[in-house]
Amino acid sequence: MIPLDPDGEDILEAVAKIGRDGVPPPSAAVDATGSSDSPSLYVGKLDVSDETPSDTFLDMTNWTKGIAWVNGHNLGRFWSIGPQQTLYVPGCWLRKGGNEIVVLDFFGPRGKCEVDFVGKAVLDVLQLDTDFNRVRRAHEKFAGGEEVAAGTFPSGDASQVVMFGKGVRGNYFTLQAVTTYDAKNLATISEFAFLDRDGNPMNALDVQITGVDSEEEIREDGVAENAVDGQIEAFWLTSSRTLPHWIEFHVPAKAEVFGFRYTPRQGKDIGRIKDWKFFAR
């Protein structure tokens, strides 16, 4: 594949020009690996020896996000996160001899600037680590700290208040779900709030989420920030079914907290936490 620069012209017109005039020289704006900080076109040729080419699939696993064409035919869109990693190429769109492949990628390939043709569709491969919209956490592993409290929540959807008996100081506080009432071992939190010595929510605290064992971002909006957004309808939902689960709260200005209030997901019993532990550091 050869990286090209459409030089500011309309992308589709650039593709049409390739079909009319052939492949222009590669642009110096894209490095040898094909990576680019702006949308770029890539052109290559496929040599076919058969008089009647068979159906095949264009494997886009190592590319990022964009559109692909073969001999001017639009094959469709691709995105590395999947689960679809291939594009169907009908044999009737190919011809004996040279076939032009054009790829528009908004971010460039992740590795070598090349494509592969494979004999079957790949429709079930997720690469969530390649999602540039995915939330990135400062801490991806459980750090814990001093165990401050532990207990068991009832199975209902009422808010639960836990008071420590004394103030606990720290910048990082972690709630660990040791077990849940969920048959699939999922965990959710609709709302979480730190409490002062009088049991009132410490609304002035700047609470950030710096770590979580998992969060649902595909099937529904279950990102961890939903646990502290003040909206009881939204919720943090784990994507992993492996216990224990945990969520880490960060307070930039070291704070003294005296307890917390946990509100389970409302309306559904999915992910309600049973046995729990609370840590501070």
Q: How far is CA 19 from CA 23, 71, 257, in A?
A: 8, 7, 67
Q: Report domain extents, the chain.
A: 2-129, 146-280
E strands in the chain: 2-4, 40-48, 56-59, 65-70, 73-79, 86-89, 97-105, 116-118, 146-152, 160-177, 188-189, 191-195, 208-212, 236-237, 245-263, 275-280
Number of Cβ atoms within 10 Å of the Cβ of 255: 20
Q: Which of helix, strand or coil describes residue 16?
A: helix
Both tokens assigned to 182? 């969920």
3-state secondary structure of 4: strand
β-pair partners for 279: 147, 174
Q: Please report the pLDDT score of residue 246 as a whole number.
A: 98
Determine whether 256 is exposed, middle or buried from the number of CB atoms within 10 Å of its CB (0-12, 13-18, 19+): middle
pTM across the whole model? 0.59
Place of tokens 């594949």: 1
Question: So what's the pLDDT on residue 213?
Answer: 96
Residue 181 C-alpha from the chain's centroid: 27
Whole-number pLDDT of residue 25: 41
CATH number of 2-129: 2.60.120.260
Q: What is the pLDDT along the chain (281 residues), one digit of tens a residue?
A: 555 555 545 555 655 555 455 544 433 333 334 555 568 889 999 999 999 999 999 999 999 899 999 999 999 999 988 899 999 999 999 999 999 999 999 888 888 888 899 999 999 998 766 665 556 787 889 999 999 999 999 999 999 999 999 999 999 999 999 999 999 999 999 999 999 999 999 988 899 999 999 999 878 889 999 999 999 999 999 999 999 999 999 999 899 999 999 999 998 889 999 999 999 99
